[in-house]
């Protein structure tokens, strides 16, 4: 399957070739959704393109980050594994510091704050990230 989403199109517009390894990585990012680590991208990408290398995954994720198409985030306070989210819009998370479960929520007053700040400072906001760290219900019940 040929990736057809905005990541593939943005790479083409920026003058980059869509090689087979890049296609596999983009397909994974477009199909699997958010919060994938580089290791998960590698594992899923190899199902599409078995010769995919770890170095190519790192380079492609770096390229997509440099182009502002994705951004790395840490979803656990003490976690060192970066995960990647798209750079468009806002991302709002509740992150359990105990088990690492991530709850993503859509409706948030941060959207209103972003609009207010954009108007007040004549600033074009492309995206924002809001994370709350704490303990989920399941972990609270275990203690």
pLDDT at position 49 is 97
Q: How far apart are CA 103 and CA 88, in angstroms?
A: 19
Residue 1 binned pLDDT confidence (cut-offs 50, 70, 90): low
Residue 68 binned pLDDT confidence (cut-offs 50, 70, 90): confident
pLDDT(117) > 80: yes
Q: Which helix (H) or strand (E) holds 133?
A: strand 127-134
pLDDT at position 34 is 67
The DSSP bridge partners found for residue 94 are 103, 132
Residue 121 binned pLDDT confidence (cut-offs 50, 70, 90): very high
Residue 110 binned pLDDT confidence (cut-offs 50, 70, 90): confident
Residues 22-66: tens digit of each pLDDT = 999 999 988 886 678 889 999 999 999 999 999 999 999 999 988
pLDDT at position 2 is 61
More confident residue, 19 or 82: 19
pLDDT(136) > 70: yes
- Give 16-65 as a 3 state SS string: CCCCHHHHHHHHHHHHHCCCEEHHHHHHHHHHHCCCCCHHHHHHHHHHHH
Q: What is the largest CA-CA distance in the chain?
A: 53
Residues 74-105: tens digit of each pLDDT = 666 555 556 666 656 667 888 888 887 888 77
Domains of the chain from N-terminus onward:
6-73 (1.10.10.10), 89-142 (3.30.1490.190)
Q: How far apart are CA 58 and CA 41, in angstroms?
A: 10
């Amino acid at each position: 399957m040929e990736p057809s989403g905005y990541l593939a199109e943005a790479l083409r517009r920026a003058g980059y070739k869509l090689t087979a390894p890049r296609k596999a990585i983009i397909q994974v990012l477009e199909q699997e959704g958010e919060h994938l680590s580089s290791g998960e991208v590698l594992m899923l990408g190899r199902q599409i393109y078995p010769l995919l290398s770890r170095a190519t995954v790192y380079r492609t994720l770096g390229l997509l980050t440099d182009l502002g198409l994705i951004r790395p985030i840490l979803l656990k306070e003490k976690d060192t594994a970066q995960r990647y989210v798209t750079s468009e819009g806002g991302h709002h998370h509740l992150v359990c510091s105990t088990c690492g479960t991530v709850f993503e929520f859509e409706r948030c007053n941060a959207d209103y704050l972003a609009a207010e700040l954009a108007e007040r400072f004549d600033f074009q906001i492309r995206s924002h990230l809001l994370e709350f760290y704490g303990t989920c219900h399941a972990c609270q019940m275990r203690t």
